[in-house]
A and B are shown apart, each in its own frame.
Chain A
């Protein structure tokens, strides 16, 4: 039998996008989507570490019921800054700006994104937002919660609200630019033969994400602007004492921030589709259902923001409509989970690290999504809103889901991005530690929330301590687990085994070029005659170690 990876590759060349040009300037002025992806990778990792340190501070404080480790003012800043950094500066850009940036052109057979300069600009905009935010943190920090609820944020908080808001405002433009770039690229830059329904699902999910980015982000920009305006000028928009309406702010905030949770998770779903298909060597079950469910999520995600406001003075009928729509929007996510699971039926499953993360994702995302139903259901939400149950729910989605997908994707494409292999044994070990640590951290919080522990509490009654001790123990394991990949990724860049062009033996376009790829990605524009995940020709029943379409490849 002919080994899978033996299809012909362009003559292995020593020149690739990493060594084609040298020097700091060649990086800072690069228009190569792959290099920009690495710039993003470096900067979001930096923010992830800051956010992670805040997280550990939160967990340390909550180890004991009394507020003995931090002052309450410090604690309030710590959880606020944890949220702001993790959401706006890590999770929202994470998968799109690194993996998406690197892979979308490669997956559709393009040389670059449609607007390489705008792509570089988006990184600088991100950096500018980040630097302003870091300035705000160093100057004194911000204590409003990442949700910036008014009138606390506009009138009462004595912290760097405007500076932080400006950081978020500017950062939003980098999302918009990235989204715009992806949409235009996917529309106009697909290689010959790469039809919409031949695209990897990763591209579909990024397309959906981009829609949310360009339609939703302007709303948060306006909201933050109004907030800053009221804070600076004293004109009443949200403060009732000045004639404003504080609840209006929540509507505006969640109109963006609910769709934003899908900005965070949809790219992850795209990664998972890739991992599941490729590490089981199987075409995704129900490809078009998985593809369209992303679009459905993007569209209907805009209609459910009111589920964050069931305990505000919102009318009962509005509450019911938002509740109904929230249940409805859960269905496309369920469809994905079922299709991923079905894909594994009669497949050939490898236990490589990326697959471990993908399997972890499905389990954790299921729990995250199902517990969302507790919060979409009106009567239970009234009790659970603003408790640790909510905290556990969104961490299951954002860490158990989006972060696991990001890590899985990073392992999967690491050989392509860096030309080096990570150590597989350590990879599996790290994935396991992260999984265990994660569950120990957040599972107890569901119960703590149901028995009534409010979120954003610096000190709490002693009966909640058991769950907090478990959670802090879990967080230590999780923190340690996260260090493992951090260390070996850095290590592998120098000492890792050189990666082949196609180390996983896969049919995707990104694997049909050398690792790391040349600056222009492909020596010749590929002509695509196969479907995504076409390991074997559809009409074939038995296995052959050859890709359909290989012969037609123009090289």
Chain B
């Protein structure tokens, strides 16, 4: 806790200053107009106070010129705010290249996180300074929201689909993690911290916390035990079902016509609700795994399929679909025309 009274939160991500700059601009404009209006009001109220009980001032005709001025000027100012806000936002949601991936599952009232390298955490997230971190998030129950004020970013965590957000921490330290979407009884207890470390400390932390398998390895085991291999081949090379190797990030042609980008949301849906988007050339024979796999296991399966990039089994640098297409859809769920979760 700082000893002085804070008026801005700590600034610890690559876009905190961008949001702050816009915020100060907005505050400046607000202050200007508030002072302009209230100053004018106070001046008029004193200057034109009623001096004799029965006085009647001269009526005044309106003025189209003035109306135009105070329509156009505020509109232009508003557009500067719009463009500025939209461009910072656009950057925030352009999926980053070469990001560290962390899987996040929210549930009443805790955060479960798993690094692509296998480390699991609860209500804490360790990240290195200067690396982009991409979160792939979902919820087991109600809507939550992952909010780190020091990073000036948040995103809803929605059951039944994946949402993503990313940030690049710039300053080591421990920062608040809040659940920002009301989620029931202990909503205000669904808090934690994001611990930003120097890269060397982070590597130490990683190696000191091995223990569990990587999500991809766990996913590979699930892939075998759930019998996916019987249709998709022992290592995803295909069979009665389409090959899964190299699928991630590509365009998939659908039986219904049209294509869809194979992002995390699509993979998730293909497992939970295979009939929703049939791959062209295949029948509706894949059984649904709804109810048989938890959100954690789903994320592991997705991580495994993503790792099937032809190369090794370590999670390769993701080339998120959206980076290839001009649409940086901020949710992994595919953009219009067809919402991916039905």
Interface positions of A (Cβ within 8 A of B): 1-4, 67, 72-73, 76, 143, 145, 147, 149, 151-152, 155-157, 239-241, 243, 245-247, 280-283, 285-289, 310-317, 319-320, 323-324, 327-328, 330-331, 334-335, 337-339, 341-351, 359, 362-363, 366-367, 370-371, 373-374, 376-383, 385-387, 447, 450-452, 454-463, 466, 505, 534-536, 538, 540-545
Contacts and interface: CB of A to CB of B under 8 A. Distances in A.
Contacts of A541: 58
Contact of B48 (A241, A345, A461): A345
Contacts of A289: 62, 67
B180 A386 contact: yes
A367 B38 CA distance: 10
Interface in B34-58: 34, 37-38, 40-41, 44-45, 48-51, 53-58
Contacts of A362: 37-38, 41
B175 to A, nearest CB: 9
A426 B282 CA distance: 80
B134 interface: no
B38 A382 contact: no
Interface stretch (B21-29, B203-211, B309-317): B21-29
Given A377-B84, A378-B86, A156 B7 contact: no
Interface in B144-172: 145, 147, 149-150, 152-156, 158-161, 163
Interface in B93-113: 93, 108
Contacts of B57: 280-282, 346-348, 535, 543
Nearest to A546: B56
Interface-centre pick from A282, A320, A327 (highest chain B CB count, 10 A): A327
Interface stretch (B120-128, B218-226, B234-242, B327-335): B327-335
A151 B141 contact: yes
B188 interface: yes
B37 A452 contact: no
Contacts of B30: 367, 370-371, 373-374
Nearest to A79: B182
Interface string B177-220: 01111111111110100000000000000000000000000000
A458 B44 contact: no
Given A311-B155, A341-B40, A156 B142 contact: yes
A233 B329 CA distance: 34
Contacts, number: 323
Contacts of B8: 450-451
Nearest to B175: A452
B82 A382 contact: no
Nearest to B108: A156
Contacts of B62: 285-289
B58 A366 contact: no
A378 to B, nearest CB: 4
B45 A382 contact: no
Interface of B: 1-2, 5-9, 15, 18-19, 22-23, 26, 29-30, 33-34, 37-38, 40-41, 44-45, 48-51, 53-63, 66-67, 70-71, 74-75, 78-79, 81-82, 84-86, 88-90, 92-93, 108, 141-143, 145, 147, 149-150, 152-156, 158-161, 163, 176, 178-189, 191, 327-333, 335-336, 339, 341-342
A76 B37 contact: no
21 contacts: A67-B188, A72-B188, A151-B159, A155-B142, A156-B108, A283-B60, A312-B156, A316-B90, A316-B330, A335-B67, A345-B48, A348-B56, A373-B81, A377-B84, A382-B89, A386-B147, A386-B181, A451-B7, A452-B9, A454-B188, A456-B188
A350 B50 contact: yes
B92 A346 contact: no
Contact of A345 (B44, B49, B93): B44
B228 to A, nearest CB: 22
A359 B37 CA distance: 10
A426 to B, nearest CB: 21
Given A149-B143, A345-B48, A378 B60 contact: no
A65 B300 CA distance: 38
A379 B85 contact: yes
A247 B160 CA distance: 10
Given A345-B44, A370-B29, 7 more contacts: A246-B143, A289-B67, A315-B329, A363-B38, A376-B81, A451-B8, A455-B182
Nearest to A363: B38
Nearest to B75: A331
Contact of B50 (A145, A283, A349): A349
A323 B85 contact: yes
Contacts of A347: 44, 48, 57
B66 to A, nearest CB: 7
B17 to A, nearest CB: 12
A250 to B, nearest CB: 9
Contacts of B37: 337, 341, 362-363, 366
Nearest to A73: B185
Given A280-B48, A463-B6, A143 B184 contact: yes
B34 A366 contact: yes
Interface-centre pick from A156, A349, A367, A536 (highest chain B CB count, 10 A): A349
A440 B245 CA distance: 61
B328 A241 contact: no
A330 B54 contact: no
B67 A379 contact: no
A81 to B, nearest CB: 14
B187 A76 contact: yes
A72 B186 contact: yes
A342 B66 CA distance: 10
B22 A379 contact: yes
Contact of A282 (B26, B60, B82, B332): B60
The 10 closest A-B pairs by CB, nearest first: A240-B160, A452-B149, A313-B331, A377-B85, A379-B88, A378-B89, A457-B188, A543-B56, A370-B30, A327-B78
A72 B85 contact: no
Given A156-B142, A240-B341, A349 B44 contact: yes
A339 B41 CA distance: 12
A396 B331 CA distance: 32
Contacts of A376: 81-82, 85
Contacts of A349: 44-45, 48-50
B72 to A, nearest CB: 9
A363 B264 CA distance: 49
Nearest to A378: B89
Given A334-B70, A366-B33, A374 B6 contact: no
Nearest to B328: A316
B163 A149 contact: no
B141 to A, nearest CB: 6
Nearest to B74: A334
A2 B154 CA distance: 66
A182 B152 CA distance: 46
Given A316-B328, A348-B55, A379 B92 contact: yes
Contacts of B19: 379-380, 382-383
B326 to A, nearest CB: 10
Contacts of B40: 341
A450 B23 contact: yes
